[in-house]
A = this chain, B = another copy of it.
């Protein structure tokens, strides 16, 4: 839970209001969101599929990050009234609109990593 009156929370809020990039980081940042987003760019997936696709996520974290993505309107959660239950996650239009940004970050990250490796190897 968040403390609304901490300096920490106030600093975050004021930056989110003033800086689009910080805002973007808030929406797509976090330990597991990049991986989730890249998975969903391939197409819709069920909860357990995601869990198997993403090595290392705990259930708590996976659910939490999916919920945040949903709150921010990037992901749609479709529940089918079946037993055993079936829940599919897919990107919304807004979710798909992040693709160029994600690609940009991914490319930059990969380039930068390669540079580091080259330096390390020399």
Contacts and interface: CB of A to CB of B under 8 A. Distances in A.
Interface residues of A, number: 40
A24 B101 contact: no
Secondary structure of the A contact surface, majority rule: helix
Q: Which of A21, A22, A108, A111 gathers most chain B CB within 10 Å?
A: A21
Contacts of A23: 109-110, 112-113
25 contacts: A10-B56, A12-B31, A15-B31, A19-B34, A19-B106, A20-B105, A20-B106, A20-B108, A20-B109, A20-B111, A22-B31, A23-B113, A24-B108, A24-B109, A25-B28, A25-B34, A27-B109, A29-B29, A94-B112, A100-B104, A101-B104, A101-B108, A104-B104, A104-B105, A105-B105
Interface of A: 10-12, 14-15, 19-25, 27-29, 31-32, 34-35, 38, 55-56, 72, 94, 97-98, 100-102, 104-113, 115
